[in-house]
Amino acid sequence: MLEARLEQAQVLKKVVEAIKDLVQDCNFDCNDTGIQLQAMDNSHVALVSMHLGSDGFSPYRCDRNIALGINLNSLMKVLRAGANEDLLTLKAEDQPDSLNLVFESSANDRVSEYDIKLMDIDQEHLGIPDTEYAATITLPSAEFQRICRDLSALSESVSIEATKDGVKFACSGDIGNGSVSLRPHTNVEDEAKSNKIELTEPVNLTFSLKYLVNFCKASSLSSTVRLCLSNEVPLLVEYKMEAGYLRFYLAPKIGDEE
């Protein structure tokens, strides 16, 4: 039996909004530590991993491990029916064939209730080791989104070069080339607007911009984003949430000098 109550429906709403364009159907694995999700896109070059800790819910109750196989498009349709500030309660049986969602609006005593049919999804779970990344860049998520959007107008892929001086996003395409360089910088007034670079060795990797743009849909989840890079290892793009995280992994482009 799962019963989990979110203070704000928008948390789940934003998470699903961010990943529904990357994966179609996936399992929400519920256990006593919270709700996890891990899924790959259709091409299997990107992976999304989400964790919503039990302390993000009040109350949270999950007696047994439950996998909720959901079509994210369907889930989004239901989530759109609730307002951002609504209380959202998720309920499911131990062997569920549907997930029950209840939106409660404290402002006008409105309660709406939905059931989504679940499906059996056979997904393999990948073990993601803890990695010491060569470069860890923290920057405002809006800034990262803007860079990706601007550069994607020019090219399919972007090279991210991290040195001790800063990080340089560069691309070149048919119409020309472009680059955005960020230097480490600390905003005293607002920590979230700082650029931080932790570097053990310089790295330079190329990634598909379309995927990065896709990841940036999670920008509303967090004011900052963390990019972790190492040679020959997938890029990690992490958005921290109050009680959890949303992480995207993307395989670098190798040997593609176009």
Partner 1 sequence: MRRRKRKVGAEETPFEATTKSGTELTGDTTRPRLAYHDCSTNYLQKVPSRLHDSTRPANWDIMAAPRVFILPATKDEDAKSISHTILTLKHPNNGVPTRYLVHHPPSSSSSQDPSAPFIYEILKVANQAHAPRSWLITPDLPPLEVPKSSSEEAEPKEDETAAPESESTSTPDSLVIKDAHLYLTTPLDPLYLLLPHLSSQKTSRNFLSFEDLLESHPESTKWSKILSLHPPSSQILQSRLLTICDTVSAGDEQMFRLNPEKLHTLLISRVESVAKALPPSLTKQISRKLSKPIGTQASTAWKRQSEIKDTSTGGGSGVINDAELEDQDEDTQQDPADSQLRREASKLNLEDSTTDTPVEESTEIVLENLLPPPEIQYLCHLSHSIQFLQNYLPQDIYSSLSEKLSTVHPQEPLEKWMEELKSLRAAANAAIDFSMSHSKRTLEDLEGGMSREDVQREKKRKKKEEDAKKSTGVKKLEKVDTKGMMKMTAFFKPKDPK
Stretch that binds partner 1, among 7-15, 68-76, 179-187, 191-199 (CB under 8 A): 68-76
| Binding span for partner 1 by CB under 8 A among 7-15, 93-101, 182-190, 244-252 | 244-252
Stretch that binds partner 1, among 4-12, 18-26, 137-145, 187-195 (CB under 8 A): 18-26
Helix (H, G, I), strand (E, B) or coil at 159: strand
Minimum Å gap between C-beta 178 and partner 1 is 19
Q: Are 117 and 98 in contact (CB under 8 A)?
A: yes
Per CB under 8 A, the list member of 45, 102, 154, 243 interacting with partner 1 is 45
- Complex with partner 1: residue 24 or 181, whichever CB lies closer: 24
CA distances (Å), origin 67, targets 119, 160, 205: 10, 37, 36
Q: Which is nearer to partner 1, 47 or 182 (CB)?
A: 47
Burial class (CB in 10 A: 0-12, 13-18, 19+), 247: buried
The whole-angstrom separation of Cα 170 and Cα 159 is 5
Question: What's at 93, amino acid-wise?
Answer: E
Nearest distance in Å: CB 132, partner 1: 15
- Told to check if 214 binds partner 1 by CB under 8 A, we report yes
Can you tell me which of 6, 22, 35, 229 binds partner 1, judged by CB under 8 A?
22
Tokens of 232: 């020959």
Name the one range near partner 1 by CB under 8 A: 14-22, 55-63, 98-106, 167-175. Answer: 14-22
Q: Quick check: 234 binds partner 1 (CB under 8 A)? A: yes
Token pair for 113: 């209730």
**In terms of CB distance, is 138 or 155 closer to partner 1?**
155
123, 210 Cβ separation under 8 angstroms: no
Q: Which helix (H) or strand (E) holds 19?
A: helix 9-19
Under the binding rule (CB under 8 A), the answer on residue 233 touching partner 1 is yes
> Exposed, middle or buried: residue 203 (CB in 10 Å: 0-12, 13-18, 19+)?
buried
As a whole number of angstroms, the distance between CA 151 and CA 210 comes to 10
Kindly list the residues in this chain that would bind partner 1 in the complex (CB under 8 A). 20-25, 40-47, 71-73, 76, 124-129, 156, 208, 210-211, 214, 233-234, 249-256
